[in-house]
Amino acid sequence: MYEFIKFEKEDGVATLTLNRPDVYNALNDEITYEIQAALKEAKRDKEVRVLVLTGEGKAFCSGQDLKASAKNPGRSFSDSLHKRYNPIIKAITEMPKPVICKLNGVAAGAGCSFALACDLIVAGESAKLIEVFVNIGLVLDSGSSYFLPRLVGSSKAFELATMGTRISASEAEKMGLVSKCVADEELDNAVKVYTDYYASAPTKAIGLMKKMLNKSQNSSLKEMLEYEAYCQDIAGATYDYKEGTTAFLEKRKAAFKGE
């Protein structure tokens, strides 16, 4: 079904792998549209409880394929962002399920933005994050201007953006850009700890909490208190709430269905 990505589903876990390893998973038109399609599929599929985003080979994603874009020098940057990149960022951040970035190598430019859009980043120690836009005279895009200052503060975000600083995985963990940094050979197992948890967690509640945390970035305390009450009514009507409370009273582990 897909030519430039791999999309696999098993035991509640969907894995979307960028699959252009010969060009470090650089983003041409075709792969961005395939990513959009796979994200829609992951959202629709009730069996999918958690999504992993990663890259094939030595890199996570090197950003825009500059060789491909050079063939169309008159293209509109704005159109490209609105049609290709922004829908991906929105799909990741609005996915009502956790999205984990398995950072297996360099994430540069829009690839860095893709990683930062995820709910968690688990990085191998050889991975690097680079806001490389400035090196070719461009500005941050694909959401990096939103994510960076919220994660590291305005001053550090300015430095990373305007100097195109290469950030190692261990440095990124200290800054709060990365949730966990592990030895490369431990990356698969480290991600599996998260996917095992989320694949059997109360997905509806987690999806609501994701919306709440995103909304809180631009809301007052008063607004969030009201939104919490609204979301709690929704969570309280789910199967998983009933199962969770029953399991607690029966002193057993809850068998959540994500419903």
The dihedral built from the CA positions of residue 141, 147, 150 and 152, taken in this order, carries a sign that is negative
In the chain, residues under CATH classification 1.10.12 are 202-250
> CB within 8 A of 172, min separation 6: which ones?
121, 123, 127, 129, 178, 181
**What pLDDT is attached to residue 251?**
96
Indicate the fold that domain 202-250 takes in CATH.
Answer: Lyase 2-enoyl-coa Hydratase; Chain  A, domain 2 (1.10.12)
The angle that helices 144-152 and 110-117 make with each other, rounded to 10 degrees, is 60
Q: Is the pLDDT assigned to residue 151 strictly greater than 90?
A: yes
Is there a contact between 3 and 34 (Cβ–Cβ < 8 Å)?
yes
- Per-residue pLDDT tens for 105-146? 999 999 999 999 999 999 999 999 999 999 999 999 999 999
Q: Is the pLDDT assigned to residue 84 strictly greater than 90?
A: yes
Q: Are strands 13-18 and 50-55 parallel, antiparallel or unpaired?
A: parallel
What residue has token string 């540069």? Answer: 108
* Mean pLDDT confidence for 208-213: 97
Provide the terminal-to-terminal Cα distance of the chain, rounded to the nearest Å.
Answer: 29
Select from 116, 121, 150 the least CA-distant residue to 131: 116
In the chain, residues under CATH classification 3.90.226.10 are 5-199
**What pLDDT is attached to residue 75?**
84
Q: What is the mean pLDDT of the chain?
A: 96
How far is Cα 165 from Cα 36, in angstroms, rounded to an integer? 29
Q: Does domain 5-199 have CATH number 3.90.226.10?
A: yes
Please name every residue paired with 193 in a beta bridge, in sequence order, or none if there are none.
Answer: none
- Mapped onto helix, strand or coil, the DSSP state of residue 108 is strand
Select from 55, 40, 45 the least CA-distant residue to 13: 45
Q: Are strands 120-124 and 59-61 parallel, antiparallel or unpaired?
A: unpaired
Phi, psi of 7 (to 5 degrees): -135, 110
* Mean pLDDT confidence for 167-173: 97
| pTM for the model | 0.95
Q: Is the pLDDT assigned to residue 199 strictly greater than 90?
A: yes
Q: Is the pLDDT assigned to residue 74 strictly greater than 90?
A: no
Q: Is the pLDDT assigned to residue 69 strictly greater than 90?
A: no
- Per-residue pLDDT tens for 25-60? 999 999 999 999 999 999 999 999 999 999 999 999
